[in-house]
Amino acid sequence: MAQIDDLPPLRDVIAAHGLNARKALGQNFLLDLNLTMRIARSAGDLSNTTVLEIGPGPGGLTRALLAAGAKRVVAIEKDPRCLPALSEVSEHYPGRLDVLNADALTFDPSGLNGEGPIKIVANLPYNVGTQLLINWITTENWPPFWSSLTLLFQKEVAERIIAGPGTKAYGRLALLAGWRCTSGKLFDIGPKAFTPPPKVTSTLIQLTPNPSPLPCNLKALETVTATAFGQRRKMLRASLKGLSADTDQLLADAGIEGTARAETLDIGAFVGLANAFSRRRNA
Ligand code: SAM
């Protein structure tokens, strides 16, 4: 594949700026710009879009997003050592890249939604990736400030996000994601593609917001799923005991058999359970 830009190879960038990877920051860098280009293209047409990237590091994915035509990229990087390398990318793409030295966990991206929903694309640091996803899918306003999430996770975490009922990976994360989003796997990336290589395979997934998720109170949904999956092998009439003095009636209100188990219930059933739980609480 052709070179994606005239900037130096990422290995040289890392050497020039002394960017030895730090485990505490989840730094596993992608140095193959053809691969980062494949990720960037998976996010679709970026020409009219502001893209939010979390953790640009030495800039491999950032460069691909810009080369793929992103109108503007806002990149949030916690490690100040990466800033000089990212400045070189900004100079190469004048006016199209803003780098903020910040912690993505405390940065509020909803204000970036100036000219329409943004796309979020990231090779996420493994230690904060799940929390960031939860923040984005539990945002108060819906439809949210983003139109798609194209995210690289450890394979096992990706499976827990996109899992359907009846599978081992199905649980709280799949419920939350499936309630508000449609999600799917794009492709796997083996450990050798990263520097340093992690122990496990990674998976690129994509989530798009459902315009009208089933009406449900988020806190109630979180409470019932946490309780039900806290003891996932038990029948619901046992695992939900802590939720209500009359678990059998709660389940009957939601039209769910007491002998069912959490992992067999689909999202509609959990929403029904959360709504029955809310009604009893407010009664
Ligand atoms: N995007 C680069 C790539 O694909 O090669 C680097 C990805 S690396 C897996 C994760 C990046 O996230 C690192 O650059 C790390 O410094 C950064 N990072 C870690 N924790 C962060 C946080 N809380 N907020 C923002 N960036 C963070």
Residue identifier of the C-alpha nearest atom 8 of ligand 1 = 27
Instruction: Report the atom number in ligand 1 closest to the C-alpha of 36.
Output: 4
Superfamily of domain 10-209 in CATH is Vaccinia Virus protein VP39 (3.40.50.150)
225 lines ligand 1 (CB under 6 A): no
Our answer on whether the CB atom of 203 is closer than 6 Å to any ligand 1 atom is no
- In this structure, are residues 203 and 161 in contact, taking their beta carbons and an 8 Å threshold? no
pTM, whole model, 2 decimals? 0.96
Contact (Cβ atoms closer than 8 angstroms) between residue 46 and residue 131? no
25 lines ligand 1 (CB under 6 A): yes
pLDDT of residue 1 exceeding 90, the answer is no
What are the beta bridge partners of residue 98? 74
**What local confidence, expressed as pLDDT, does residue 62 receive?**
98
Q: Is the pLDDT of residue 48 over 70?
A: yes
Q: At 113, is the pLDDT very low, low, confident or very high (cuts 50, 70, 90)?
A: confident
Q: What is the mean predicted confidence (pLDDT) over 109-115? A: 82
Question: To test the ligand 1 pocket, which listed residue (20, 53, 77) has its Cβ within 8 A of the most ligand atoms?
Answer: 77
Ligand 1 within 6 A of CB of 21:
no
Instruction: State whether the beta carbon of 77 lies less than 6 angstroms from ligand 1.
Output: yes
Q: What is the pLDDT of residue 111?
A: 85
Burial class (CB in 10 A: 0-12, 13-18, 19+), 273: buried
Domain boundaries, the chain: 10-209, 218-282
Tens of pLDDT, residues 267-282: 999 999 999 999 988 8
* The architecture CATH gives domain 218-282: Orthogonal Bundle (1.10)
Alpha-carbon distance values, 155 to 8, 133, 151, 202, 203 (Å) = 30, 15, 11, 5, 5
Cβ(157)–Cβ(174) below 8 Å:
no
pLDDT in tens, 153-204: 999 999 999 999 999 999 999 999 999 999 999 999 999 999 999 999 999 9
Q: What integer pLDDT is reported at residue 2 of this predicted model? A: 65
Q: Given the structure tokens 């492709």, which residue do they identify? A: 187
pLDDT class of 283 with cuts at 50, 70, 90: confident
DSSP string, 214-263: PP--HHHHHHHHHHHHHTTTSBHHHHTGGG-TTHHHHHHHTT--TT-BGG
Length of the chain: 283
**247-272 pLDDT, tens digit each:** 999 999 999 999 999 999 999 999 99
Asked if pLDDT for residue 216 goes beyond 70, the answer is yes
Ligand 1 near 27 CB (within 6 A): yes
Distance CA 5, CA 212 (A): 41
Backbone angles phi, psi at 66, to 5 degrees: -70, -45
Asked whether 110 and 139 are in contact (CB, 8 A), the reply is yes
Are domains 10-209 and 218-282 of this chain identical in fold? no
